[in-house]
Chain A
Amino acid sequence: MPLIENGQIIEDRFLRVADEDALPEGVPVLIGADRFLKEAAALKGRQAPVGIIWPNNRPIADIAPYLDQLSLIALNFPTFRDGRAYSQARLLRERLGWTGPLRAIGQVLRDQFLLMERSGFDQVDAVKPADADAFDEAVHRYTVFYQPATPDERPSLLRQRLGRTVSGVPAGVPK
C-alpha cells in the first residue's frame, strides 16, 4: 500500500511488528497500543524509533504521558465510514500538542484524503495505488473552506469574510 507524506510517495521506514513477534534491534517499529502500554518502561531504553497504532475506540488522551517516547502515531480507520479517528487526530494536534508524524491507516480512500489532511494527518496509507497517484488532485479539489480546521494555518471563512460588506445584490446572483 503506497504511503504518502505531504504529497510525496515515501518508503515506509517503520516495520509493523505483530504483538507476538520479537522487536528487531536497530529498526524503526510500529506496534499496537496494548503491547506498547505493557512494555512502555522497557521500550524507553530502545535506540531505534517506536511508532504506535492507536485504536479508534480508546480515548486518545490516554496517550499523553507517552508522547515523548514516540516517533510516529498511526490512527485507524477500520472502515472509511468510521470517523472517530478524525476527532482523535484533531485532539492529538490541538489539545495534546503532537507535532510528529501522524498516519492514517486502514480503509484509507481518495475521497477522504482532504478531510484527513485538514484534521491533522500528514501521512496517509492509501489502500488503492490509483488513489495514491491522485493524491495531489484529491487534496486540491477545494480552494475554499468554510470552517477553521487546524487553528493557525487555515483561517475560517467567517474570519476571511470580515471587512467585506454587501451593498445591494452582488454580481452573479441570477436575474
Chain B
Amino acid sequence: MYVYDEFDRAFLAERVAEFRDQVGRRLSGALSEDEFKPLRLMNGVYLQLHAYMLRIAIPYGTLNSHQLRRMAHVARRYDRGYGHFTTRQNIQFNWIKLEELPEAMAALAEVGVHGIQTSGNCIRNVTTDQWAGATPGEYDDPRIWAEILRQYSTLHPEFTYLPRKFKIAITAAPQDRAAIKVHDVGLRLHRNEAGELGFEVLVGGGLGRTPFVGKLVRPFLPARDLLSYIEAIMRVYNQYGRRDNIYKARIKILVHEIGAEEFSKAVEAEWEAIREGALKMTDEMIAEIRGRFLYPDFATLADNPPELAEALKDARFATWHANSVHTHKVPGHAIVTISLKPVGAPPGDATADQMDVVADLADRYAFGEIRVGHEQNLCLPNVAQKDLPALWAALDAAGLATPNVNHVSDIIACPGLDYCSLANARAIPVAQEIAKRFSDLDRSRGIGRLHINISGCINACGHHHVGHIGILGVEKNGQEFYQITLGGRADEKAQLGTLLGPAVSYEQVPGLIEDVVETYLELRAGPQELFIDTVARLGVEPFKERVYAAH
C-alpha cells in the first residue's frame, strides 16, 4: 500500500474546498453550465441519463479496507446501495444528488479517495496490473512508477486543458494485465542488457471510434527519465494535437497523421532540451516514493499446506481454486480474484454489503489490501494458502465466489443504454443473457479462456475491439443492433478484432455467440487450443460461414 502523508491530505482537502466553491458558484449562476462542465468532470462528476454520476479513482487499482468500506458507506448513504467498478480502475456511483456531492466527496477524502482527473481533458488516473507487487517475475512494482506519475500529473498547470483525455498504463510483468497497448501512452517496465531499469514507451494506442494499437517510440527509456520524457510527449501533444474536431483530438490521431517517426523526433527534440532539468529523478527521490509503499509482513510458509489439500477434496472449492487462485511470489501465499460477474447481475457491480464483506475479509486474510482490475473484478493480492478454504466459504456466502474468472461468462461490459446518455444499445442485459446461456460451469470450463467485451456505442468503454469476442451496439432505424468482432486481445500480443459480418438484432446476439463458441469447439486443434488461438489460426471466415448460415 502507498501511504498518504499530510502533503497529500492537505492537497485533497484543498481540492474538495475548491469544488465546493465551484458547485456554489454554479448553483448561484456565477458559472454557466458550459464553464462548470470541465471543472466538474475533472472531479469525476458527470451528468448522466438519470442523475449526476460520480467516478472515483482507484490509483493503480489499490485500495485499503478503510477506503473500500467508505465507498460502501457512500453507496448506501448517497446512492442506491451499490457501485460499479469500471475498466479503468475506477468506481462509479450513478445516483448522487448534486447538492450532496461535496459532502460525499468530503467523506471519501477523509480516507484519501477522490475523483480527481477521472474525467476531463487531462492526464487521467494512471492504471496498472492488479497483481502488481504480488506476481512472480515482475521487474519492479509498477505502482511506484504509477504513483510518481500520479503526483506529477495531478493538477499539472500546463496539461490540465489538453486537446482530449489522456490515459497512461504501466506493466512490469511478462504478462500484460494493464492493456498498455491500447492506451495513449503504454509503458512496459523491463531491464536492458546492462541490467538497468527502464521503460519501453508506446504512444497512440486507444479504442473508441478510431482504434489503434500503440506504436513503439522508444525501446528503452532509463527509469529516472520517466517524468521528463512524459513531459516532452505531453508538450508536443498539447501544442500539435488537433483541436478543430473532438473526434480527431486524441494523441493517436496526431501520431497517425504525422507518423510515429516524426512524432518521436519531435518528442526527442523536446526531451533533449529538458532531460537534465528539474524533472530528472535522482535515486533518492525514487527511493523516497518506493519507501512509502508498505508491503505485508509475510510469514514464512510452505506451498500446499495440509489445510488446502484437505479442502481441495471438496469439488466446489476445487473448482473455485482452479479458477480464482493464482501463483504468488512468496511461498505459501496466493493471489485471489473475486468475480463480480455472478450470472444474472450487471458486470462489475458490487453492493454496499458486498464491499463491506470484502473489506472485512481483506482485514482478516489479506493484510487489509484490495485490488481492482480492468476486467471489472476485485482481487485480494496477498492471501496465505492455508486461509483459502475459510476465505472461500465467506465469499461464497456473500455471493462472491462464482468460479468464472476468464471464462465466457466473465464478461466486460459498459453501462450502455441503462445508464449512459451516449449509448446506442443496451450492454448490461446482453451480458446477462449471454452469461445465462453459459451458466453451466462444466461447459464453460470446457470452453476455457474466452473474453467477451461489450460496448453500448462506438466509444468503446467496454473495450469491445480487444475482446476475444467483441460486441458493439449500433443503431439502425431506431433499433438496437450489434456488430460482432473476433480475435481481439488486450494482452502483450494486443490486437484489434476482425468484423464477423453484418450486425444482428438484440434477440439474435446470445444465439450467435453460442454458435461462435460451438464452432470453436468443433474447429479447435484440441482442448489445449484457446479460442483466441483458433481464430488466429483460421481467421474469421469459417466462423462467419457457420454462424450466418444458421441465422
A residues lining the B interface (CB < 8 Å): 59, 80-84, 86-88, 90-91, 95, 109, 111-112, 114-116, 118-119, 128, 130, 141-149, 151, 156-162, 164-166, 169-170, 172-175
Contacts and interface: CB of A to CB of B under 8 A. Distances in A.
Contacts of B4: 172-173
Nearest to B161: A83
Nearest to A131: B30
Give the top 8 A-B pairs by smallest Cβ distance, nearest first. Answer: A83-B161, A118-B157, A148-B278, A115-B157, A146-B151, A174-B66, A86-B158, A158-B285
Nearest to B237: A87
B289 interface: yes
A160 B10 CA distance: 15
5 contacts: A119-B157, A143-B14, A146-B155, A161-B288, A170-B3
B5 interface: yes
A175 B160 CA distance: 34
Contacts of A141: 14, 17-18
Contact of B238 (A80, A86, A173): A86
B528 interface: no
Contacts, number: 125
B165 to A, nearest CB: 13
Given A86-B160, A164-B288, 5 more contacts: A90-B235, A118-B157, A142-B155, A147-B156, A166-B5
Contacts of B289: 158, 161
A70 B235 CA distance: 25
> Main SS of the interface on chain B?
helix
B7 A144 contact: yes
A139 B281 CA distance: 28
Contacts of A162: 284-285, 288
Contacts of B284: 162
A162 B282 CA distance: 10
B52 interface: no
B161 A81 contact: yes
Interface in B240-291: 243, 273, 277-279, 281, 284-285, 288-289, 291
A70 B120 CA distance: 36
B152 A146 contact: yes
Interface string B16-40: 0110001000000010000100110
Interface residues of B, number: 50
Interface of B: 3-7, 9-11, 14, 17-18, 22, 30, 35, 38-39, 66, 70, 110-111, 121, 148, 151-162, 235, 238-239, 243, 273, 277-279, 281, 284-285, 288-289, 291-292, 294
B254 to A, nearest CB: 13
Contacts of B235: 87, 90-91
B7 A161 contact: yes
Given A111-B22, A158-B289, A172 B159 contact: no
B161 A170 contact: no
Nearest to A121: B157
Contacts of A119: 157-158
Contacts of A164: 5, 288
Nearest to B239: A87
B152 A174 contact: no
Question: Which of A59, A111, A175 has the largest count of B CB atoms less than 10 A from its CB?
Answer: A111
B285 A166 contact: no
Contacts of A175: 66
A142 B11 contact: yes
B38 A81 contact: yes
Nearest to B284: A162
A144 to B, nearest CB: 5
A88 to B, nearest CB: 8
A151 B35 contact: no
A81 B243 CA distance: 10
A115 B281 CA distance: 23
Given A109-B35, A147-B151, A161-B288, A156 B238 contact: no
Given A80-B35, A166-B3, A90 B158 contact: yes
Nearest to A109: B35
A145 B8 CA distance: 9
B294 A169 contact: yes
A18 to B, nearest CB: 25
Contacts of A145: 155
Nearest to A173: B3
Contacts of A156: 278-279
A150 to B, nearest CB: 9
Nearest to B35: A109
Contacts of B22: 111
A83 B288 contact: no
A48 to B, nearest CB: 32
Contacts of B273: 95
Contacts of B161: 80-83, 86, 112, 115
Nearest to A60: B239
A2 B278 CA distance: 34
A102 to B, nearest CB: 14
A142 B12 CA distance: 10
Nearest to A87: B238
A86 B157 contact: yes
Contacts of B243: 82, 84
Nearest to A88: B239
Question: Which of A91, A119, A143, A173 has the largest count of B CB atoms less than 10 A from its CB?
Answer: A173
Contacts of B39: 111
A144 B10 contact: yes
Nearest to B36: A111
B10 A87 contact: no
Given A115-B157, A119-B157, A144-B11, A165 B3 contact: no
